[in-house]
Structure 1
Amino acid sequence: MDAIPQRYLRQLAAVFDPCCRDKGISVVDMGLVHSVSVEGRHARVELLLTSGWCPFAAAVLGEVRDRMEALPEVDSAEVEVVWHTPWTTDRLSDSARARLRFLPDPVAVGDRDQYVTTHRRGGLP
């Protein structure tokens, strides 16, 4: 896969998966943009989904299409979900990874059992 031009990534950084909008994590930060190509005045975007059962897929695909069609050099755009490349957390940007982390880095926890005992709801073992 060729590198995606930054101007397209900046354009798509305004599209949010509804599950991550409140955290400010875009489809770009999630690593959902697999490829972007523009031939003539037609754009083609390939997206990955975190799950094949994503109830928001249609809305996200429509927003991606609209954002690409808002570019002055693009008259039309198509967006396709690709299944040949699975989405994994390795695709998260560093900022998305930090915003999604709700537990400390495992390296920072010396004694896992003690940590779990101390941080259980209400402090109860």
Structure 2
Amino acid sequence: MSVDTIDTNELGEKVVKVIKTIYDPEIPVDIYELGLIYDVFVNENYDVKVLMTLTTPNCPVAESLPQEVEEKIKSIDKVNDAEVEITFDPPWTQDLMSEEAKLELGML
């Protein structure tokens, strides 16, 4: 394995780290801990696809948030391309939040 080689799991972890730097503007918790990221796929061409949701379909950042996620992922070394798909199935609920997020928001 050459030094340039990176496995898809390792790249997936880098993607998650970057996603954890993106915050919902209305809630002081990153979108990963909020449970807005449903899935991160990395293929052998280092194309990344993120399946995510928003807290509500008419979320004020419905346009900008997925774009921010896509741009930040594309900025990672080795990522060939990135695509963000928004879904509302299943709809987001507070149950999807991590313990950390619930603690941060005083829900525990």
In the superposition, the TM-score normalised over structure 1's length comes to 0.69
Aligned residue for 1:121?
none
Offset of 1:46 from its aligned partner?
0.7
1:41-83, CA deviations, whole angstroms, 9 ceiling, x for partnerless residues?
3211111111111011211101100111112121221111112
Counterpart Cα distance in 2 of 1:96 and 1:41: 30
Cα displacement (A) at 1:101: 2.1
Residue 85 of structure 1 and its aligned partner are, at CA, apart by 1.4
Q: 2:26 matched to 1:19?
A: yes
Aligned residue for 1:30, secondary structure, equals coil
Instruction: For residue 7 of structure 1, report the CA deviation from its aligned partner.
Output: 2.8
Query: 1:1-125 to 2 correspondence within 5 Å?
Result: 5-20=12-27, 23=28, 25-39=29-43, 40-101=45-106
Structure 1 vs Structure 2: percent identity of aligned residues? 27
- Separation in 2, partners of 1:95, 1:13: 12
Number of aligned residues: 97
Deviations 1:75-108 (A, max 9, x none): 2211111122121111111121012127xx6xxx
Structure 2 Cα separation of the partners of residues 93 and 84 of structure 1: 19
Whichever structure has more helix as a proportion of its residues is 1
Output the TM-score relative to the length of structure 2. 0.79
Give the structure with higher Rg (CA): 1
